[in-house]
Amino acid sequence: MLALGTTSITVVAVIAVIGLAALGCALVLRRQVLAAPEGTAKMQDIARAVQEGASAYLNRQFRTLALFAVVVFALLFLLPGDGGVRLGRSVAFLVGASFSAAIGYLGMWLAVRANVRVAAAATRPNGRAEGARIAFRTGGVVGMSVVGLGLLGAALVVVIYGMEAPAVLEGFGFGAALLAMFMRVGGGIFTKAADVGADLVGKVEQGIPEDDPRNAATIADNVGDNVGDCAGMAADLFESYAVTLVAALILGKAAMGEQGLVFPLIVTAVGAFVALLGVFITRVRGEESGLTAINRGFYISALAGVVIAALAAFVYLPSSFEGLGGTADLSGVTADPRVVASLAVLVGVVLAGIILWVTGYFTGTTSKPTLHVAATSRTGAATVVLSGIGVGFESAVYTAGIIAAAICGVFLLAGGNIALALFLVALAGCGLLTTVGVIVAMDTFGPVSDNAQGIAEMSGDVDEAGAKILTDLDAVGNTTKAVTKGIAIATAVLAATALFGSYADAVSQALADVAEQGGGLVTSMMSYEIISPVTLVGLILGAATVFLFSGLAIDAVTRAAGAIVFEVRRQFREHPGIMTFDERPEYGKVVDICTKDSLRELTTPGLLAAFAPIAVGFGLGVGPLAGFLAGAIGAGVLMAIFLANSGGSWDNAKKIVEDGKYGGKGSDAHAATVIGDTVGDPFKDTAGPAINPLIKVMNLVSLLIAPAVVMLTVPADVNHALRIGIALVAASIAFGAVILSRLRAARVDAEQAATEEKTPVVV
């Protein structure tokens, strides 16, 4: 094991202490949030029901995933490598998965206690500023926890394993990404099944408000906001943090040796100060919009992060690339490492800021695209859906172009040296993630304010002025959720691009260990040239996997939402006293349906993500697997942005109409925007966000199996039967799960049709 120098060990130890300090700050912020008044007894009763439902769901989800984690732990230990590294990688997988789960649970636990406090704040003087402060600091707790656990986990691995830490951290990142993907899919199915079901029956069929207590799906809807947006997004951003660090450390070690290994940790440690600054300076002044205050806090703290990271680069890094000890050939690079590293971090932060603005433009309630979507409600639901799809497609092109421009800029900084360019891409990702604490706070703001509005409406204990405050905060939350999804997508692309470079490095190292390489077909299987038909096949399969994954996620929401619709209709039909407030809806039954359906449906997309790259890699070779990853990244970024921004524009178009435009609530225009919003719900909160961890999971799986693929493909005397057998088993698992899902869907459709024939709908 290659140990680090004394200076580097000291720096990494300090970073671990910063991680602990960040966790301490999270505890202080948590105490501040919980110190706020909880409101009336009725508010507390509703909040308690949401708390119980969210905790029950996540507890069942973690029990379901625990067995899966144990199986993956064992499989990781079977991969090639030194015994100590293999064990460390497997243990790091469990640690990464546990941290991701802990972050998700923390995000949910505090959010379901902050929502009632935000609702209560709206009833007091200066309620707008107080409610925004509580909601944002709730997210600040989660943001500081993401930074703290990420730094602590990575720093401890580097201290223990030294220069071999990147190989161990592959397991850490994989565990975080895999859990995040499952939480994103499961939570997304839960929340949008409840939301769609509640809207279709409550708003459209019964003509009652969104969070009317007579709707049996309202509690499940509020539970879903927390298990989907809070828990899922917190886990997603934690895995982005972990995976970007993994890629940066691998590429930094190759490009700059020991200092390249440590410097990404320094950059991400800056994020602790950025998060703390952002949380404390974000305050609503007077009657200004909460979004204005949040944007101001983000930009100021991001600028501070750039300055601190640049100072760290000039203190820690040398003035030349000569003699740094990396394995990459940087002999032709004459630039100053301190300058290019600082500029790479700046590129990442600027990218976050631009995407924040662009996403806000396409989804904000005062922007032309969303105003256009709202205006189309005058001609019906079809035009609302079409206009929202158009907004999503257009925004995807601009956002993807901005991300591509950032990567090109980093490539120019590297002077065309690919090894250095890949490291700088990873550094740009680390720079973007210096803002992760503020980003998590922005995202959590959304579901907390949404829940607060729901609690206020269900309790009836908030006056008209307070309701207006909560509506405004909810609209701000819709935009911040869309914005953070855009930034999360950018992070995923940078991390995936860097992991792509790590994959090439892993293949090169594995090839160096092969004494005699085979020829013929083997040569084609090793080719990275896009002109090669088999590599192009890999690219097509990678893009197709993104489409299939998205389709499965949306279809899962459709089935689960259908079950909710039937259940809520049944309750209205069999218990007419619900509409007159003489009977209480059976909220628990809807929560149970959402829980069972979401946990059942999350396995199919998860198995597809984990086993598709294994099938391609062992079946076609490392060259086509590289094409597979390229296709997944390209299609993934466009699909994720399209889905997120379409959904965001539909959601806020509905808000515009509900605020009085085009007839307001109860009008035909309102019904049209409700339909648009229900279409957008699984777009923006299930399939779109889940693509982020999907492309990173597939990249990490490919990185982990690359040495084994080379060992079973390249040697002249290798037995190809084992390789083909592995590919067939992986393909059978991935697509067998899809086929079973289709069969289950057909069975559910038949059962629902039979039920409807017996008990026709009465609206």
User: Residues 12-57: pLDDT tens digits?
Assistant: 889 999 989 989 988 998 899 899 888 888 888 888 888 888 888 8
Distance CA 37, CA 40 (A): 9
CA gap 447, 455 in Å, rounded: 12
- For residue 696, give the H/E element and its range: helix 688-711
Amino acid letter for position 16: A
Calculate the alpha carbon distances from 548 to 248, 319, 433, 507, 757 in Å. 30, 48, 29, 28, 32
Indicate the pLDDT class of residue 643, thresholds 50, 70 and 90.
very high
What is the percent of the chain where pLDDT is above 70? 92
**Structure-block tokens of residue 98:** 């546990």
Q: Residue 286 — left, alpha, or beta (φ > 0 → left; ψ -120 to 50 → alpha)? A: left
Contact (CB, 8 A) for 699 and 500? yes
Residue type, 729: V
Q: Is 715 helix (H, G, I), strand (E, B) or coil?
A: strand
Helical packing angle, 381-413 and 464-512, nearest 10°: 50
Region of 126 please: left (phi>0), alpha (psi -120 to 50) or beta.
left
Q: Is residue 576 part of a domain?
A: yes
Q: What is the mean pLDDT of the chain?
A: 83
Which structural domain range is residue 89 located in?
A: 6-509+524-758
Q: Is residue 743 part of a domain?
A: yes
User: What tens digit of pLDDT does each residue of 187-243 get?
Assistant: 888 888 888 877 778 777 777 776 777 888 888 877 877 777 777 777 877 888 888
Alpha-carbon distance 263 to 248, whole Å? 9
Angle 402-407-411 from CA coordinates, rounded to 5°:
145
Listed ranges 1-5, 380-384, 680-684; the one with the highest mean pLDDT: 380-384
Distance from C-alpha of 313 to C-alpha of 335, rounded to nearest angstrom: 14
Q: What is the average per-residue pLDDT within 148-165?
A: 86
Write down the residue that tokens 């501040």 correspond to: 32
Lowest mean pLDDT among 209-213, 248-252, 669-673, 707-711: 209-213
Q: Which residue has the tokens 């409700």?
A: 674
The per-residue DSSP string of 227-250 comes to: IIIIHHHHHHHHHHHHHHHHHHHH
Length of the chain: 763
Question: Is the pLDDT at 617 greater than 80, yes or no?
Answer: yes
Predicted confidence (pLDDT) per residue in 564-574, tens digit = 888 888 888 88
269 to 154, 155, 321: CA distances (angstroms): 11, 10, 23
How far apart, in whole angstroms, are the C-alpha atoms of residue 22 and residue 271?
A: 10
d(CA 656, CA 650): 10
Q: If residue 69 lies in a helix (H) or strand (E), which one and from where to where? A: helix 41-78
Identify whether 222 is part of a domain. yes
- Is 518 domain-assigned? no
Partnered with residue 517 across adjacent β-strands are 715
Nearest CA to 450 among 467, 470, 466, 465?
470
CA proximity to 605, closest of 524, 668, 689, 673: 689
pLDDT confidence band for 761 (50 / 70 / 90): very low
Can you count the helices (H) and strands (E) in the chain? 22, 0
Q: Which residue has the higher pLDDT, 716 or 571?
A: 571
Structural tokens at position 193? 């099944």
pLDDT beyond 60 at 597: yes
Give pTM, 2 decimals: 0.83
514 in any annotated domain: no
- Roughly how many angstroms between the first and final C-alpha of the chain, as a whole number? 71
Q: How many domains does the chain have?
A: 1
Is 654 within a domain?
Answer: yes
In a domain, 515, yes or no: no
d(CA 593, CA 587) in angstroms, rounded, equals: 10
- Least confident window among 130-144, 495-509, 673-687: 495-509
Q: Give yes or no for a contact between 240 and 433, defined as CB atoms under 8 angstroms apart.
A: yes
In one-letter notation, the amino acid at residue 473 is L
Instruction: Quote the CA–CA distance of 107 and 103 in Å, as a whole number.
Output: 6
In this structure, what DSSP letter does residue 517 have? B
**Cα-to-chain-centroid distance, residue 722:** 36
Report d(CA 168, CA 705) in Å as an integer: 14
**For residue 19, is it within any domain?**
yes
Q: What is the pLDDT of residues 329-383, one digit of tens each?
A: 777 777 888 899 899 999 988 888 888 788 888 887 788 899 999 999 999 889 9
